[in-house]
Structure 1
Amino acid sequence: MTGREGGADIGPIGENSPVVILVRPQLAENVGTTARAMANGGLFHLRLVAPRDGWPQSRAWYASSGAHRILDAATVHDTVDDAVADLHRVMATCPRPRHIVKTVMTPRGAAAELRARAAQGLRTGILFGPERAGLDNEDMARADTLVRYPLNPDFMSLNLAQAVLVMAYEWWMAEDTTAPRVLMTNETRVATKGELENFLSHLTRELDACGFLRNEQKRPGMVRNLRHLFQRGDVTEQELRTMHGVITELARGRKSGQTPG
């Protein structure tokens, strides 16, 4: 068994999405998990520069969690120059300060720039260095821009797939339209103000009946606090029906307890 059987349907491959270029990767498993990270963020073009153990390596397919399509299409290059020859813009990840005069961007800024270049029909790529030492100065000399991750300065260690995932995530989020906050109501819906008012009237009637609101001086403030409580969130129609049932049962139990014998 090679590990290449099957594979997930990982979506359409955009022609101008950035190429992920792994420079001298050392472990096949890291190439596989990189493919998995790429698929998460919609990056589907993978190039390998002088992989230490050669290529292909079945362990990469095993580690990719179904991102076989990326590995199947990956190309191997002897040098960075060959890997970037057909690209218009190249970025390079740079975890350490270097004595280089070059624009440095955050992953978020880089992703926005990559999106803009893609919209112009330009092909782009991102260089990632070998696991142990990262890119050297000669590698970065082939790049237009450096990308540095603003992480905890006391601990900035990422493995190869994590580094790729950060860029893949930012690439995806640069055009993602998901609302930052949404209430999941499933089969119910948010209650209307009329439904909420009906419930509050029901609640107030029963609280009056049981004597909870017997202090006339405090009653307006207590009712107002209850109103604030239920108005504060997106109460659903199903939740109000449940609360109506709770109040009805409590009232029934109270009345039953007052019945002689």
Structure 2
Amino acid sequence: MSVSTDLTPPAVILDKPQMAENIGAVARVMANFGLTDLRLVSPRDGWPQERAWATASGADWVLEGVRVFDSVGEAIADLKTVFATTARPRETRQPVRTPRESSRILYDDTASGLKTGLLFGGERAGLETTDIALCAGIVTIPIDPKHHSLNLAQAVAINAYEWRTLILDAPPPRFRDSDPPASNDLLIGMYEHLEEELENGGFFYPPEKKRSMSQNLRVMLGRAAFSEQEVATMRGAIHALARGRGRVLAKLAAERAKASSSSEPPRGE
């Protein structure tokens, strides 16, 4: 079999990893299957960590290229297609796929020139629902429910293996008949713009439900797979609605001021 070297493998993003040994083990399996881009989000003990090199078994180039971010949003900002790997889909209504199914999508998108990634949660807490909402879907490994304990490096290895089998078999990429999806930094900017204007308009009520309402909005909009042009159109629409609301409020304020001044009794000389 011939191995395709033209495709950029998916990035692997670890959210809040706790143990250096697990980071090193992840680097080892990434190197086994040809993945090199490892990103860490707020590692508990900081970075670099000497113990990671001991468990990487010589996969030094992966660890030396590690980039550290403060949030998942920042870590995936330049990526176009990201899947969240979790055993608990929780409250989202995103599509749930196996590693084999998601790898095929990642392969096709990568072959189209898009940057892709796989997001993994920390050893204990897993992924936050708000971070899952930033992804294109969920990957769940079909393990036996009698024993569903799977460590971080094992989860990465299974997904990396499925990617590698596609590279080895070199299937023809599927034809993309639409514009590529916008990068996550553009999507997050659109979400924040919409949420800001909805906040100004009093949409988030009662206030304690704002988090879940924002999350639901992001999941709904994320399923649309906006292109860059569609993001620009959406933001233009949000801006126009906000500007229109501002004009209405200004007009009402002017009318109230006029009515107030006309109702004042004439001043005596």
TM, length-normalised to structure 1: 0.62
1:16/1:175 Cα in 2 relative to 1: closer, same or farther (>3 Å)?
closer
Partner of 1:88: 80
For residues 12 and 23 of structure 1, do their structure 2 counterparts lie closer, same or farther at Cα, with a shift above 3 Å needed? farther
Computed over aligned residues only, the root mean square deviation of the Cα atoms, in angstroms, reads 1.9
**Residues 24 and 12 of structure 1: CA distance in aligned 2, closer, same or farther (over 3 Å):** farther
Separation of aligned partners in 2, 1:124 and 1:144 = 10
Q: 2:14 maps to which residue?
A: 22
The question of 1:119 aligning with 2:108 is answered no
Match of 2:168 among 164, 168, 176: 176
- CA gap of 1:77–1:94, structure 2 versus 1, over 3 A, is same
Corresponding residue number in structure 1 for 2:154: 162
Instruction: Give SS of 1:176's match.
Output: helix
For 2:30, the equivalent position in structure 1 comes to: 38
Shift of 1:97: 3.9
Larger radius of gyration: 1
Deviation digits for residues 105-133 of structure 1, max 9, x if unmatched?
Answer: 10000111111011000000110000012
Could you say which residue in structure 2 is the equivalent of 1:236?
none
For 2:6 and 2:40, the matched residues in 1 are separated by 19
CA distance, structure 1, for counterparts of residue 105 and residue 15 of structure 2: 22
Number of residue pairs matched?
A: 168
Look up the equivalent residue of 1:66 and give its one-letter code. Answer: G
Q: Is the 8 A contact 2:42 2:71 kept in 1?
A: yes
Distance 1:177 1:89, change over 3 A: closer
Q: Of 121, 138, 143, which residue of structure 2 is paired with 1:146?
A: 138
Considering fraction of residues, name the structure with more helix. Answer: 2
Deviations 1:24-46 (A, max 9, x none): 00000100000001111111110
- Distance in 1 between residues matched to 2:127 and 2:69, nearest whole Å: 16
Q: Secondary structure at the match of 2:84?
A: strand
Q: Would you identify which runs of 4 or more consecutive aligned residues in structure 1 move more than 4 Å?
A: 11-15
SS of the aligned residue for 2:13 comes to strand
Percent identity for Structure 1 against Structure 2: 49
Equivalent residue, structure 2, for 1:210: none
What is the CA-CA distance between 1:99 and the residue it aligns to?
1.8
Report deviation, 1:13.
Answer: 7.9
Q: Which runs of 5+ in 1 are unaligned?
A: 1-10, 179-261
Cα displacement (A) at 1:21: 0.1
Letter in 2 for 1:65: S
In 2, the alpha carbon distance for the partners of 1:86 and 1:97 equals 24
Residue 152 of structure 1: how far off its partner (Å): 0.1
